[in-house]
Chains A and B, each alone.
Chain A
């Protein structure tokens, strides 16, 4: 299972303050779906407001990115840039 890391504010708002979670899924889409089932409402926020770092590589649009079973997935606030 992938290790998912949430920011403190997301963890407080949706996950009882716990920032690290073990989640199954083959892609970011699957991880978000699984997290939303566990913490209703978090899915839309993760999809709309957050960028993702998968094993240390930042993705701005990671919807379909693949996840390895031992991946570390950090949801981080999305910043605009260009």
Chain B
């Protein structure tokens, strides 16, 4: 939390004076993040490429992140790893695909599956060299003798081991299943500059920065996208999104033409500050990212509106009709002053 507050304080946005006609709001938020059940498998193809199989649909770049962690664990290039998303009957149960658990928990399952496969690979090298399995180490994508005492053997690559798999015990696979604990909380500090049209109650978001403790950013641009997506949803929640019913309880805005969500033209470029505080419960320091950024926007925007108008909005959304009504209610008091 402290690191994230400091990062927000040192951001270009916070250091820039507020423009005339704009108002600034700041808010901090928290989400504990989630681990839970995940299954994963890995296998070596006969050409030495690796397939990593997991069960959570890719809704925010998780395939790339899982492939990166598998490549790092194996010590091979990222382009040698092919991530595949399978269904429950193929790979086993995976808990929900949400905003914060897949790269953490399924990532942990992938790392463990690859480690399981590496043990298998070391065993195959041991058979080829006729040594004990613990006399073999895995380093930078190769099986190597653990020391010179083991004997003089040329390192064996994934492709070389795969080529001899049939002679040494069959396909080379790894598997893991777990209930991941220690998801590691995430903190976000958001800064918003906005302007308010006092006649209509329309709020325009002029500038927005989200600073967040993201653990290790395995794929930084996807992490940035998670923050931007969360902010966009948070801005919609703050300013527009609501179900509107008539007097008979019938929903009046059942379609996306009438259910007002922010679109690209409603938003500025959302600036991000990735604060990397590794999660000690994950081998690569991963913590959930996608849920934290929807927590602070409402408070940040509410604070900015209060500063702009001296009206403290207490209900969401702070939509044009509501804000306009609140400003009208304030008008006699302002006139008296």
Contact = CB atoms under 8 A, between A and B. Distances in A.
A59 B181 contact: yes
Interface stretch (A10-18, A19-27, A60-68): A60-68
Nearest to A52: B181
Nearest to B182: A57
A82 B31 contact: no
B100 A60 contact: no
B182 A61 contact: no
Contacts of A58: 32, 183, 185
Contacts of A60: 34-36, 181, 183
Contacts of B97: 82
B282 to A, nearest CB: 13
A54 B26 CA distance: 32
Given A60-B34, A60-B36, A82 B100 contact: yes
A21 B281 CA distance: 28
A62 B96 CA distance: 19
A81 B31 contact: yes
A81 B100 CA distance: 8
Interface string B182-226: 110100000000000000000000000000000000000000000
B119 interface: no
A82 B101 CA distance: 6
B181 A65 contact: yes
B155 interface: no
Contacts of B101: 81-82
User: Which size bracket describes the interface of A in this complex?
Assistant: 10 to 19
B297 to A, nearest CB: 18
Contacts of A62: 181
B181 A81 contact: no
Interface string A41-82: 000000000000000011111100100000000000001011
Contacts of B98: 81-82
A81 B124 CA distance: 42
B10 interface: no
A81 B34 CA distance: 6
B178 to A, nearest CB: 11
B36 A61 contact: yes
A48 B101 CA distance: 21
Contacts of B281: 57
B181 A82 contact: no
Contacts of A82: 34, 36, 95-101
B101 to A, nearest CB: 5
B36 to A, nearest CB: 6
A28 to B, nearest CB: 11
B185 to A, nearest CB: 7
Contact of B291 (A59, A65, A81): A81
Residue among A61, A62, A81 with max Cβ neighbours from chain B (10 Å) = A81
B179 interface: yes
15 contacts: A57-B182, A57-B281, A58-B185, A60-B34, A60-B35, A60-B36, A60-B181, A61-B36, A62-B181, A81-B32, A81-B101, A81-B291, A82-B97, A82-B98, A82-B99
Given A60-B183, A79-B32, 9 more contacts: A57-B182, A58-B32, A58-B185, A61-B179, A81-B33, A81-B98, A81-B291, A82-B34, A82-B97
Interface of B: 31-36, 95-101, 179, 181-183, 185, 281, 291
